[in-house]
Amino acid sequence: METLFESFRIALELTPTDYIRSFHDKINWNNRLIGLLGQKGVGKSTLLLQHIRKFDNIEETLYVQADDFYFSGHRLFDLAYDFFKRGGRRLYIDEIHKYKGWSTEIKMIYDKLPLISVVYSGSSLLALRKGGMADLSRRAIEYTMPGLSFREYLNISNGWSLKTATLEDILKGRVDFPFGEHRPLKYYEEYRKKGVYPFFAEDDFHLRLKQAINETVEHDIPNYAEIPVASAGKLKKLMYVLANSVPFKPNYSKLARDLEIGRNQLPDYVEYLTSSQLFNTLTEKGTGDAILQKVEKLYLNNSNIAFAVSDTKPTEGTMRETLFLMWMQEAYKVTSSKISDFEIDGITFEVGGKSKTGKQVKEAETAYLVKDNIEYAIGNSVPIWMFGFVY
């Protein structure tokens, strides 16, 4: 157990606190059981360690990784119990999806050690509750951490402190950008290629991202969903097909035949990819249960993934729509539009290039053209990069 404390202190000392994402303040850290979910590489581990450095009593805190060799011979509950006897009060468990039967032991810790608070992090797949796993819905408060917004990318890469903007502000062109010697299109071009993940400054960015994606598709999903090892290859092939054809309008019958996957299995495979935040779904506008609403299109979660896994250079149109959906889904309910690309709170959005006209949305009551390659909002034309300030 001493090695766990030593590893924790080393990780803590190496964690920078010069920039802490605003997502930190969305979490109610006073809850006894908190789950921090998100795609691999978005910065969950860093956020946990930053919180510990800034706000916790180190003597009463322990941070561990669930795939540590320690757990090959020890149970998670036993660790928590020994930690409690040493005066421990706050236990952080990273990568918890790599610990088999994790939810049952977390439930035991919660019920039997009421003086200990637990924060766990893991793949967004944990949102998919499989049969036989303990139900934590009445105990845990879970938060899903997104990739960096354009605003966050600018703040980290330039040492700025730009503020978020509401949709109303964005549509009026009011965003906190330091115009002058700084030009937004230059930064936007960099961001869409490798700005969604906190390790964007590393030279081997796309290689690291591709490895993280492979880890999710080849190991995390098969292990968590308990699908046969042979199916992992089909899952990876599905990921490859979708990545090279997004936005993808689901035709499950044809896709199942092409990939030699059962028609009834395919929706589950797609759900695994979307739940792990590799893909986003765009549903049609409806008034019923959101779960039952039809999926209109599938998009990659963000444009960085396209540059990492696609065979060819991603199309400009796809990149624009992908980023708009990623950003706006974090703050608003986004649905498909019958006459255009997207609809948010009754407002129609047509996403296109600099020369895009309003012909397609002339029948809409309220509509805006979301364009790249422009710097300022003029009339109903709004630069796409401004929407990256919504969170």
How many residues would you count in the chain? 391
pLDDT value of residue 132: 44
pLDDT tens for 311-350 read 788 899 999 999 999 999 999 999 999 999 999 999 999 9
pLDDT value of residue 131: 43
Cis peptide before 16 (omega within 30 of 0): no
Flag whether pLDDT at 134 surpasses 80: no
Domains along the chain?
A: 2-145 (3.40.50.300), 151-389 (no CATH)
Average model confidence (pLDDT) for the chain? Answer: 92
The stretch 265-280 carries a mean pLDDT of 91
Report the alpha-carbon distance of residue 167 to residue 165 in Å, rounded: 7
Say if CB 35 and CB 143 are below 8 A apart. yes
The stretch 72-76 carries a mean pLDDT of 96
pLDDT tens for 339-391 read 999 999 999 999 999 999 988 898 899 999 999 999 999 999 999 999 999 99
pLDDT tens for 200-255 read 999 999 999 999 999 999 988 888 888 887 788 888 888 888 888 878 888 888 88
DSSP 156-205: HHHT--PPP--HHHHHTT-----BTTB-HHHHHHHHHHH-SSTTTTSTTH
Closest CA to 84 of 49, 114, 121: 114
Closest CA to 146 of 270, 308, 281, 36: 36
